[in-house]
Structure 1
């Protein structure tokens, strides 16, 4: 299996993001206090072209492969993990919209020459829908609406019912932001500036062409006509890998921070005037670096496997997708452990409000609780697959 390339256009975007690092770090600090991504930083990220990487080429995008999307999110997270998480969700929204009916895509991007119209996404079906002529009437509340305060559209989970009112499937409904209200109830320990508010719809009409049935989508039965390989990749793994990129970036940011301060920090109650002189500290840094490199390698392996499958018209079966899910969980858990170790290696000053390190620590720990990459369910399901009990695995994780 060959590696997917990061094309020069995407590398150029990553270079622009790297140049924004001072701004992203500073805005991450202020956004943590205001509970909102800094407007200047968000506009600067838009200006890099990051938000069109997963948009189809016909709408001015780059139709990015899985590794490319992950790499862009990683670059953003080296400056601000919260902004990277917002990017990851909005990037997911763009990719999912690209799988939908062409008319839905045109509704969002048809008159948007730059492809920068943004789409947030919440998969949970915490709502009700009533079939009606030409579509559905939708009401509900969707928590954790990351990116919704910047999005002009939202993809929201709904139950799909037949004429008798029986639920026959789940779907994603594409709803304009103008049809939604919100409740600002995002008061959390980490990822504060993502503004992941609760979105609210009250009897909103959604035409049928703006609904993506999820059972078919999970098995690769997409509605759109886009021909780029990225729009033939496996549905759920493609989504959870977009959220691995922010973890990779936060891990690297934590390591960079600790190394950059090590030559000017002593180790309390020891004879070491510099952390860099301590063999124990040296070993901790080495282990953190090796573990981060291993996590990045596994993440890239999964990303390449996802894309290579699409390139040869292969849609990975459930058991393979579960393995991808377990590996993604391992990546996230590894980074969580690395950052915890780096907090201890750096010392108590890392917990100060003024320290970027504690913000990285809080943000990554909060992101690590996302259901897409939780280790417990991923390992349990994969273990059942390895033991020849795939039907039992589907009880643990029916949708992967």
Structure 2
């Protein structure tokens, strides 16, 4: 199924590259799906899947072309993660967040980017934005001690963006920031024992007394205002607004999980009887037909919201325009609406499919657990997003969250 909400400035070459990368993701679906159970057991994505994604170039999509990446638009990133999620939600989630962290690294100073990719262009990054650390200002940078939870994909990263308070010489907080720290300076504590998205390996990172030079610290307040440290201001991707992109990172996998659920229910319907009815199979039952129609429509709505937000982001970045507050609020609302609709689509599919949804051998039960967990990510809270957007519609900015 295709959706036409694309940015007006997209060229034939842009679309051809997108089609190629999505096709590469589609070819990996069998490997990704085949490793899904192992991912759950190990609480991390299997190395076979990681290696296959790397070989296909799908960890390179948001890396700057200067370092051998594809530097694609946000729409392409959404579609690649969506396609991988049709095989396994955890694998797609990790891929999406690692690619998102690579995008963010393209906003740092030139020296920071050289630190990450100058010696190894295949370096991958993970991220946790919460500033759960203490810092001390020293000559040339900061000394950081902290612990950061929910570091998805950290097993497969060489660097991490981690939230820190930026303090002055007196130790007083003056800003919040992100510190770029090599994984060799961090330890991973296994804290990820969950019912959904088990394979993401979203454990806790920690460090003690690690020096981070100034050039590897990004001001969050400046980033929220569209001001980044990269000197390469002609690169449209890295002009994209911080929060809308961060929110859309987690949408693509949920679109793919919902699509996988719907595809599975439709595939199985001719072979499944309707217990305690006179219908020969689910295909003949109007109740199932109506539920599948509702699920498909919800999934359509999810895609349309997500792709509209991506088009708005990509078009503004292409023209070098900083999205105003109301536009960013709408993008946040679109992301939340897409996630809510995708989750409801899976719930509706389960109602059509029946009680066997919860058989351990049925992939649908894993999709349900995964999308329920993924949809509760705090940064995409639908009520907060609605409040931000509603206030913006009546001319009120701020007062709810800085993440707009």
TM-score higher than 0.5: yes
1:72 is matched with 80
Q: Please, which of 353, 357, 370 is the counterpart of residue 360 of structure 2?
A: 353
Q: Is the 8 A contact 1:81 1:363 kept in 2?
A: yes
Q: Give the Cα–Cα distance (whole angstroms) in 1 for the partners of residues 320 and 9 of structure 2.
A: 16
2:42 is matched with 34
Q: Please, which of 205, 208, 219 is the counterpart of residue 202 of structure 1?
A: 208
Do residues 98 (structure 1) and 102 (structure 2) align?
no
Do residues 82 (structure 1) and 86 (structure 2) align?
no
Do residues 297 (structure 1) and 297 (structure 2) align?
no
Q: Give the Cα–Cα distance (whole angstroms) in 2 for the partners of residues 399 and 195 of structure 1.
A: 25
Q: Is the 8 A contact 1:179 1:204 kept in 2?
A: yes
Q: Is the 8 A contact 1:3 1:304 kept in 2?
A: no
Deviation by residue 1:255-302 (Cα, 9 ceiling, x = unmatched): 011111111011121122210011111121122112211211121111
State TM-score, norm by structure 2.
Answer: 0.95
Q: Is the 8 A contact 2:74 2:314 kept in 1?
A: yes
CA positional deviation for 1:3: 6.2
Deviation by residue 1:343-396 (Cα, 9 ceiling, x = unmatched): 111011111111110111111110101122110100112112223332xxx121
CA positional deviation for 1:313: 2.1
Structure 2 counterpart SS, 1:142:
strand
Q: Please, which of 179, 182, 187 is the counterpart of residue 193 of structure 2?
A: 187
1:313 is matched with 320
Q: Give the Cα–Cα distance (whole angstroms) in 2 for the partners of residues 261 and 44 of structure 1.
A: 29
Q: Is the 8 A contact 1:66 1:238 kept in 2?
A: yes
Kindly tell me: are residues 344 and 284 of structure 1, through their superposed partners in 2, closer, same or farther at Cα, counting changes over 3 Å? same
CA positional deviation for 1:171: 0.6
Structure 1 counterpart SS, 2:41:
helix
Cα root mean square deviation, aligned: 1.2
Segments of 4+ moved more than 4 angstroms = none
Q: Give the Cα–Cα distance (whole angstroms) in 1 for the partners of residues 359 and 330 of structure 2.
A: 39
Q: Give the Cα–Cα distance (whole angstroms) in 2 for the partners of residues 138 and 396 of structure 1.
A: 29
1:398 is matched with 402
Q: Is the 8 A contact 2:262 2:349 kept in 1?
A: yes
Q: Give the Cα–Cα distance (whole angstroms) in 2 for the partners of residues 310 and 3 of structure 1.
A: 10
Q: Give the Cα–Cα distance (whole angstroms) in 2 for the partners of residues 160 and 371 of structure 1.
A: 23
Structure 1 unaligned regions, length at least 5? none
Q: Please, which of 282, 286, 291 is the counterpart of residue 284 of structure 1?
A: 291
Q: Please, which of 63, 66, 78 is the counterpart of residue 71 of structure 2?
A: 63
Q: Is the 8 A contact 1:29 1:356 kept in 2?
A: no
Q: Give the Cα–Cα distance (whole angstroms) in 2 for the partners of residues 200 and 59 of structure 1.
A: 29
Structure 2 counterpart SS, 1:46:
helix
1:1-400 equivalence runs, <5 A: 2=8, 4=10, 6-112=14-120, 115-226=121-232, 227-390=234-397, 394-400=398-404
Kindly tell me: are residues 3 and 372 of structure 1, through their superposed partners in 2, closer, same or farther at Cα, counting changes over 3 Å? farther
Q: Give the Cα–Cα distance (whole angstroms) in 2 for the partners of residues 23 and 135 of structure 1.
A: 44
Q: Give the Cα–Cα distance (whole angstroms) in 2 for the partners of residues 399 and 348 of structure 1.
A: 40
Q: Give the Cα–Cα distance (whole angstroms) in 1 for the partners of residues 130 and 184 of structure 2.
A: 21
Q: Is the 8 A contact 1:292 1:334 kept in 2?
A: yes
CA positional deviation for 1:102: 0.5
**How many residue pairs get matched?**
395
Structure 2 counterpart SS, 1:149:
helix
Deviation by residue 1:5-32 (Cα, 9 ceiling, x = unmatched): 5532332222122122122112112211
Structure 1 counterpart SS, 2:59:
helix
Structure 2 unaligned regions, length at least 5? 1-6
Deviates further, 205-214 or 12-21: 12-21
Q: Give the Cα–Cα distance (whole angstroms) in 2 for the partners of residues 336 and 397 of structure 1.
A: 24
